[in-house]
Amino acid sequence: MIRRLGSTDAVLIVMGGILGSGIFLNPALVIGYLHTPALATAAWIAGGLIALLGAALFAELAARRPEDGGFYAYLRDAFHPSIAFVYGWTLLFVAQSGGMAAGAVTFAIYVIPALHLPIGTGVLGAIIIAAFTLVNCVGVRQGAITQHLFMLLNVAMILVVAVCALIAHGAATHAVVAPALAPLSNAQLLGASGIALVAVLFAYDGWHTSSFINAELKDPARTLPRAITIGVLLVVVLYLLANWAFLHGLGAAALAHSQTPASDLAALALGPVGAAIVTGLVAIATMSTLSQQILVSPRVYYQMAEDGTFFRFLGYVHPRTRVPVLAILAQGLTAAVVALSGSYNQILNYVESVDFVFFGLAAIALFIFRKRDGDRPVSFRMPLHPWSTALFLAVAWGIVADVAIGSPRDTLVGLGIMLLGLPVYRVFTRARRKAAAQEGTP
């Protein structure tokens, strides 16, 4: 593969990995769990701080290990190839495929009612995934341009939502639209806070995926750390703006009962025609994350194939487009299957339960690399390490425990697929050793 992507590409890819379906659905979930605007806003602020901690952590990891493979390579070098394989395996069958499916399903949730389409959300989601898969097979530059356009549209739609909130009459006007939200007891609030934070963190998730494109970045040791920190900070600002807009424009009760908050807010501010236009644009904007994930995640399966721990055909790079075509097709097919098989909430739960297992391991990896590297200078260092790194580790595995308590079935599905990667790794390594022995036999 060729290093064709620069600093601007990297920042937009970081933002594209985060901005997407979550911000147009999850504010309704969060206020529905917490019932008060102050607590909902606090959840989005807390999620932003956690995302910034994660961004700083991955910025230092990228500075210390700019080699191909990104997060996969960090786990391989810090722990063992088996841990890296399990991550790549989980990425294909749970984390990235689930995130892509969630984006495609969000698109369908907005589009199907607006156009009265006689089709299920999963089917339309699978069709959208197939279209983006084909675009990324054409080449990394074409895939990056497509991702940038959708990401910029996403930013524009958040700004449009904020304008709609100013035009609408405010929360008090819409109090009659939906039943009032009852106050929560202390016990209810404790349980709801954890579930709400999961929804927030799903919307913020994705900063780490930019590390997958190291092989196609110019000067990745400097470009990627800077891009991660700038990109995540900008997204936090945009998300806080969007959450304010939904709460101010719709009111807490109406937002909690909304299936399509952006469309409902646009209807109040702009009328039916404006709402129809905004609905279409928001639906298209939700494709930002989907486009980014199809662009970056197949690079991990390519690296696994290069390491000899996964199907070798996934390492095939097309001689003209210079992209791992078969890895891209494998990712698209798996995501389409997930879109057809699960609801948005199910996808959210099992993606987060698995993602934060590995985020905790990323924090441990930084401790390991710091010890191994000694005082070697790097372009970025995690602020307030080791306390900040330890805090991120505690939060990451605390999220896993919270999801397991709140949604045990979905958590078992995600963790079960993850653990299945260990015996699969043994099969691949045993086959590789056998092939190597046969090659060495006269």
User: Looking at residue 238, what is its pLDDT?
Assistant: 93
Query: What's the CA gap between 442 and 437, in Å, rounded?
Result: 10
Residue 411 DSSP label: H
> Tens of pLDDT along 205-232?
877 776 666 666 777 667 777 888 888 8
Q: What is the pLDDT of residue 304?
A: 79
Going along the chain from its start, the domains and CATH numbers come out as: 7-440 (1.20.1740.10)
Q: Burial-class residue 375 by CB neighbours within 10 Å (0-12, 13-18, 19+).
A: exposed
The CA distance from 65 to 44, in Å, is 31
pLDDT for position 442: 47
Which regions of the chain are under pLDDT 70?
A: 1-6, 21, 67-69, 136, 138-144, 146-148, 169-187, 210-216, 220-221, 286-289, 291-292, 295, 321, 342-352, 435-442
Q: Tell me the CA distances in angstroms from 213 to 49, 70, 229, 302, 357, one per residue in order.
A: 25, 7, 16, 11, 22
Strand partners, 5: 217
Among the listed residues 396, 289, 411, 293, the one whose alpha carbon sits nearest the alpha carbon of residue 346: 411
Contacts of 171 (CB under 8 A, 6+ apart): 37, 247, 248, 249, 250, 251, 252
Instruction: Check if the beta carbon of residue 33 is closer than 8 Å to that of residue 308.
Output: no
Q: What is the pLDDT of residue 424?
A: 87
Q: What is residue 176's predicted lDDT score, i.e. its pLDDT? A: 45
- Whole-prediction pTM value? 0.79
Residue 366 pLDDT: 95
| CA separation for the pair 17, 228 (Å, rounded) | 10
